[in-house]
């Protein structure tokens, strides 16, 4: 390319280049200013929920003023040759282990469902359930958000995998499926069952080690 | 340049005579996707107003430097920058809303309303006219999607801005919050606007508001 050709190229494109540099700088500045807030939002969304999933909504408020310690951990579980990592929040009250909260996700009817599950220290029962993110059908599947439905998971033993049933749940491990949203109900129960199966051993070991 | 509309004309045209959604049928992706409730519709309008205003002003400022064959690149670059700013801002200060709107904020980049305004107005007229045009078009966009959202939220959930307005006995028409509800409401609204325009055009005396100008529009 001749020198003249190069000049021609720059005379055509200089505006695009200048704008790209200016806008790039603007966006970098934006990221520096807002980045930490966005990260904090993501973490807070989970952390805010942790106390009530371990202690129950009423009790959590009293405790939040006294000593409570939440420590995020990452627990790896070997499964079929792959390591699955769980974000687990270890909750301590007055220095003693009070329970675990884990983030877990699975395929729902429409899209991924992301939930938080609370366990007691020995992972023997479920102490809470919260749906972080879901895109289930409004009016049917999104009833998994309702406190009434989530409430039936409270104090359920983890000894036997939970099973959603149509109609009235009778046995201890049975869960009332939402009418018209069997898939969403099953998705949530499956996510819990998988999390229990994966995490029972590692978390019990951790609890003993303390 | 002599024939270009003035700032006031541009502003008024955006609201109804050349409403982006109802008359030009642009920006239909957000008009269908984020109109399940009023809050998301208004947040969307705010984001579009911000992006359209900034993009129009910048484009208008550099309009004499634009090379015809590189103008689309410049428009897209400008729009993408301000969309990213709007997206990050929502994620920082309206986190839940930003999760609800999901990909639809980044998708403003390909919103035809904005590139259309850059091309039609901002790349030819002064900053003041471009700004007025952006505000007018955004108000038009906001009114159109709020109209759809109001119908869908009220019939679909019995609420308006999350406040119950219909008696509890109202059987929520769930279909209205689902995608079909968007198409039904939108279709009926377009029909209504077209009918109104036909009736108006048949009237012998035209409104004094926008003489001659809107005939060709």
Give the C-alpha separation, B85 to A30, whole Å: 7
Kind plus residue range of the DSSP H or E element containing B119 = none
A20: nearest CA in chain B?
B77
Listed residue (A46, A122, A129, A56) closest to A89, CA to CA: A46
> Which of the four pLDDT bands, split at 50, 70 and 90, describes residue A169?
confident
Listed residue (B163, B200, B145, B164) closest to B35, CA to CA: B145
DSSP strands (E only) in A125-190: 126-133, 163-165, 174-176
Whole-number pLDDT of residue B217: 39
Q: What are the tokens at B61?
A: 């400022």
The stretch A151-173 carries a mean pLDDT of 82
Q: What are the tokens at A24?
A: 């790039």
Question: Would you call A15 and B67 a contact, using CB atoms and an 8 Å cutoff?
Answer: yes
> Which of the four pLDDT bands, split at 50, 70 and 90, describes residue A97?
confident
List pLDDT tens digits, range A3-44.
Answer: 555 677 788 888 889 999 999 999 999 999 998 998 888 888
Contact indicator for A28, A85 with CB cutoff of 8 Å: no
Question: Would you call B81 and A27 a contact, using CB atoms and an 8 Å cutoff?
Answer: yes
From first to last of the 217 residues of chain B, give the pLDDT tens digit: 457 888 888 888 888 888 888 888 888 888 888 888 899 999 999 999 999 999 999 999 998 888 888 888 999 999 999 999 999 999 899 988 888 887 888 889 888 899 999 888 888 889 999 999 999 999 999 999 999 999 999 998 888 888 888 888 888 888 888 888 999 999 999 999 889 888 888 876 555 555 554 444 3
Q: Is A34 on the interface with B (CB under 8 A)?
A: yes
3 state SS of A28: helix
More confident residue, A123 or B43: B43
Contact indicator for A50, A89 with CB cutoff of 8 Å: yes
Contact indicator for B28, B21 with CB cutoff of 8 Å: yes
Whole-number pLDDT of residue B216: 42
Question: Would you call B77 and A26 a contact, using CB atoms and an 8 Å cutoff?
Answer: no
Whole-number pLDDT of residue B215: 45
Contacts of A137 in chain B (CB under 8 A): 174, 178
Kind plus residue range of the DSSP H or E element containing A78 = strand A68-79
Kind plus residue range of the DSSP H or E element containing B131 = helix B127-157
Mean pLDDT score of chain A: 82
The stretch A77-98 carries a mean pLDDT of 80
Give the C-alpha separation, A162 to A53, whole Å: 18
Question: Is A98 exposed, middle or buried (CB count within 10 Å of its CB: 0-12, 13-18, 19+)?
Answer: buried
Q: Number of A:B CB contacts under 8 A?
A: 58
Question: Would you call A15 and B70 a contact, using CB atoms and an 8 Å cutoff?
Answer: yes
Give the C-alpha separation, B166 to B138, whole Å: 30
Sign of CA dihedral A85, A87, A91, A95: positive
Give the C-alpha separation, B127 to A49, whole Å: 48
List the single best residue of B95, B159, B175 to mutate versus A (max A Cβ within 10 A).
B95
Give the C-alpha separation, A54 to B86, whole Å: 37
Whole-number pLDDT of residue B3: 73
Q: What are the tokens at B129?
A: 């006219």
Calculate how close chain B gets to A128, using CA atoms only, in Å: 22
Write phi, then psi, for A2 (nearest 5 degrees). Answer: -75, 165
Looking at the partner chain, which of A16, A133, A137 has a beta carbon nearest the beta carbon of B77?
A16
Q: Is residue A176 over pLDDT 60? A: yes
Write phi, then psi, for A206 (nearest 5 degrees). Answer: -65, -40
Looking at the partner chain, which of B65, B77, B156 has a beta carbon nearest the beta carbon of A23?
B77
Calculate how close chain A gets to B6, using CA atoms only, in Å: 28
CA Rg, chain B, in Å?
Answer: 18
List pLDDT tens digits, range B8-45.
Answer: 888 888 888 888 888 888 888 888 888 888 999 999 99
The stretch A93-119 carries a mean pLDDT of 85
> Which of the four pLDDT bands, split at 50, 70 and 90, describes residue A205?
confident
| Angle of the B127-157 helix axis to the B7-15 helix axis, nearest 10 | 10
Q: Which ranges of chain A would DSSP assign to H, the alpha helix?
A: 3-47, 50-55, 57-65, 147-151, 182-209
Output the pTM of the full model.
0.75
In this structure, the strands spanning A126-133 and A112-119 are antiparallel
Whole-number pLDDT of residue B141: 93
Label residues B196-209 b or e (16+ Cβ within 10 Å = b): eeeeeeeeeeeeee
Whole-number pLDDT of residue B11: 87
Contact indicator for A204, A120 with CB cutoff of 8 Å: no
Most confident of A61-65, A76-80, A82-86, B40-44: B40-44
> Which of the four pLDDT bands, split at 50, 70 and 90, describes residue A65?
low
Q: Is A38 on the interface with B (CB under 8 A)?
A: yes
Whole-number pLDDT of residue A206: 80
Whole-number pLDDT of residue B206: 52
Q: What are the tokens at B151?
A: 């119908």
More confident residue, A74 or A18: A18
Give the C-alpha separation, A87 to A105, whole Å: 11
ipTM: 0.74
Spell out the domain ranges in chain B: 7-213
Task: Lowest mean pLDDT of A65-74, A137-146, B46-55, name the range.
Answer: A65-74
């Amino acid at each position: 390319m001749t020198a003249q050709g190069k000049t021609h190229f720059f005379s055509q494109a200089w505006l695009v280049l200048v704008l790209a540099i200016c806008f790039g700088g603007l966006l970098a500045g934006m990221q520096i200013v807002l980045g930490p807030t966005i990260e904090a939002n993501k973490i807070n969304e989970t952390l805010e929920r942790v106390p009530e999933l371990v202690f129950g909504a009423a009790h959590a408020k009293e405790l939040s003023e006294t000593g409570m310690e939440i420590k995020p951990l990452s627990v790896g579980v070997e499964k079929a040759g792959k390591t699955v990592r769980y974000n687990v929040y270890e909750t301590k009250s007055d220095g003693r282990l009070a329970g675990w909260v884990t983030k877990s996700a699975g395929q729902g009817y429409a899209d991924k469902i992301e939930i938080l599950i609370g366990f007691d220290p020995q992972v023997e029962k479920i102490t809470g359930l919260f749906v972080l993110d879901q895109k289930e059908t409004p009016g049917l599947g999104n009833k998994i958000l309702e406190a009434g439905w989530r409430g039936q998971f409270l104090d359920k033993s983890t000894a036997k995998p939970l099973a959603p049933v149509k109609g009235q749940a009778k046995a201890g491990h049975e869960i009332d499926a939402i009418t018209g949203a069997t898939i969403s109900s099953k998705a949530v129960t499956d996510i819990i069952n998988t999390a229990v199966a994966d995490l029972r051993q590692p978390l019990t070991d951790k609890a003993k080690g303390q | 340049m002599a024939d270009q509309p003035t700032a006031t004309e541009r502003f008024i045209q955006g609201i109804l005579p050349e409403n982006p959604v109802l008359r030009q049928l642009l920006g239909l992706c957000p008009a269908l996707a984020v109109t399940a409730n009023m809050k998301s519709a208004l947040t969307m309008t705010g984001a579009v107003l911000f992006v359209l205003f900034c993009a129009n002003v910048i484009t208008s400022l550099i309009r004499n430097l634009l090379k015809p064959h590189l103008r689309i690149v410049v428009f897209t670059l400008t729009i993408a920058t301000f969309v990213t700013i709007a997206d990050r801002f929502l994620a920082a200060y309206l986190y839940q809303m930003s999760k609800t709107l999901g990909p639809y904020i980044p998708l403003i980049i390909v919103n035809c309303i904005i590139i259309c305004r850059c091309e039609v107005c901002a790349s030819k007229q002064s900053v003041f006219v471009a700004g007025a045009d952006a505000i007018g078009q955004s108000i038009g966009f906001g009114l159109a999607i709020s109209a759809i959202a109001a119908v869908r939220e009220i019939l679909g959930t019995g609420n308006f801005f999350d406040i119950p307005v219909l008696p509890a006995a109202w059987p929520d028409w769930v279909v209205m919050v689902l995608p079909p509800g968007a198409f039904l409401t939108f279709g009926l609204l377009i029909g209504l606007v077209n009918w109104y325009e036909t009736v108006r055009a048949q009237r012998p005396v035209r409104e004094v508001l926008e003489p001659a100008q809107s005939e060709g529009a």
